[in-house]
A and B are shown apart, each in its own frame.
Chain A
């Protein structure tokens, strides 16, 4: 499969960059123990982003706004990490990464993991659906469907809530892995415009 980009990906806006990347070697622990790590890492990113934001300023409610950004980053990082852990291709030693980046106008949270070509194909089909349809309608439909299909756990509902509930813009980058020909890496990115969050601009 060839390298491909979908949605709102790699759109750098503003000139002030701060970033933080965490990487995990998925072979080092079973999924259940790594699951705890998702929450810890997501909480850390949420806490950390508040240090980038001004302590005070001309905003009407800086504390409330900061807490809202903290929660949004924590939620988004947690969902992206959960997906990366669930769908990661475990047969190869590729790290799972979570990346946080801040410019003057937006926050980007992105997660990278390895996937098989078959999984990449299925994911791309979902990506095309999410880009084509209204996210609110799609979310409701997926919730209805998941209530009928008791075994359904793979609806990527987390991504829909990131768009619908948090107003983030999603983008994807699929790349062939240089060492493993049957494996790709996928980066899922969520961009949160700071103006979407009440009362705060960085």
Chain B
């Protein structure tokens, strides 16, 4: 299992290489600091076609540089044929309903499951 850890967050890619779980608060300072996470996300696009699942249900905070990082990944997924991308989100984390809709506007086929 691949893991990226910081002081306030933890990101784990499960062994199926298509599920990535985010926990904590992501407030890194910009593109460069987010690059390893974006690379981890992009590696899911190289695998066999199956749903790619980003589990954000425990991601309490995301700054706008993090929103940009997710946007870059979503645009890349959109521009490849046949990608099935799903985001798991939570109604009790207020930024999810407010900001994830922008990702769906970038990629209309994106599925957001709000629980």
Give residues in A with beta carbon < 8 Å to B.
31-32, 35-36, 38-39, 67-68, 71-72, 74-75, 78-79, 82, 86, 139-140, 143-144, 146-147, 150-153, 155, 157-158, 161, 164-166
Contact for B64 among A68, A140, A144, A157, CB less than 8 A:
A157
**Residues of chain B with a CB closer than 8 A to A161's CB:** 64, 67, 99, 102
**Residues of chain A with a CB closer than 8 A to B43's CB:** none
Give residues in B with beta carbon < 8 Å to A.
7-8, 25, 27, 29-32, 61, 63-65, 67-68, 71-72, 75-76, 94-95, 98-99, 102, 105-106
Give A167's nearest chain B residue, CB to CB. Answer: B98
* A38 touching B27, Cβ below 8 Å: yes
Task: Work out how many contacts link A and B, with CB atoms closer than 8 A.
Answer: 74
**Residues of chain B with a CB closer than 8 A to A79's CB:** 63-64
3 closest A-B pairs by beta carbon, nearest first, are: A158-B64, A71-B94, A143-B71
**Residues of chain A with a CB closer than 8 A to B102's CB:** 139-140, 143, 161, 164-165
* A146 touching B64, Cβ below 8 Å: no
**Residues of chain A with a CB closer than 8 A to B105's CB:** 140
Q: Given A140-B105, A146-B68, A166-B98, 14 other A-B contacts at CB below 8 A?
A: A75-B95, A78-B63, A140-B102, A143-B75, A144-B106, A146-B72, A147-B72, A153-B32, A157-B68, A158-B63, A161-B64, A161-B102, A165-B98, A165-B102
| A72, A143, A146 interface centre (most CB from chain B within 10 Å) | A143
Interface of A is mostly: helix
* B72 touching A74, Cβ below 8 Å: no
**Residues of chain B with a CB closer than 8 A to A31's CB:** 29
In Å, the complex CA distance between A117 and B98 comes to 35
The 30 listed contacts between A and B (C-beta, < 8 Å) are: A35-B27, A36-B7, A38-B27, A39-B27, A68-B94, A71-B95, A74-B61, A75-B63, A78-B63, A79-B63, A79-B64, A82-B27, A86-B29, A86-B30, A139-B102, A140-B106, A143-B67, A146-B68, A146-B71, A146-B72, A147-B72, A147-B75, A152-B31, A153-B30, A153-B31, A155-B68, A161-B67, A161-B102, A165-B95, A165-B98
Give A160's nearest chain B residue, CB to CB. Answer: B64
Write the nearest CB–CB distance from A49 to chain B, whole angstroms: 14
* B76 touching A147, Cβ below 8 Å: yes
Write the nearest CB–CB distance from A15 to chain B, whole angstroms: 29
**Residues of chain A with a CB closer than 8 A to B67's CB:** 143, 157, 161
**Known contacts A39-B8, A146-B71, A157-B64, A165 near B99 by CB under 8 Å:** yes
* A72 touching B63, Cβ below 8 Å: no
Give B75's nearest chain A residue, CB to CB. Answer: A147
| B64, B65, B95, B99 interface centre (most CB from chain A within 10 Å) | B64
In Å, the complex CA distance between A36 and B98 comes to 24
* B31 touching A143, Cβ below 8 Å: no
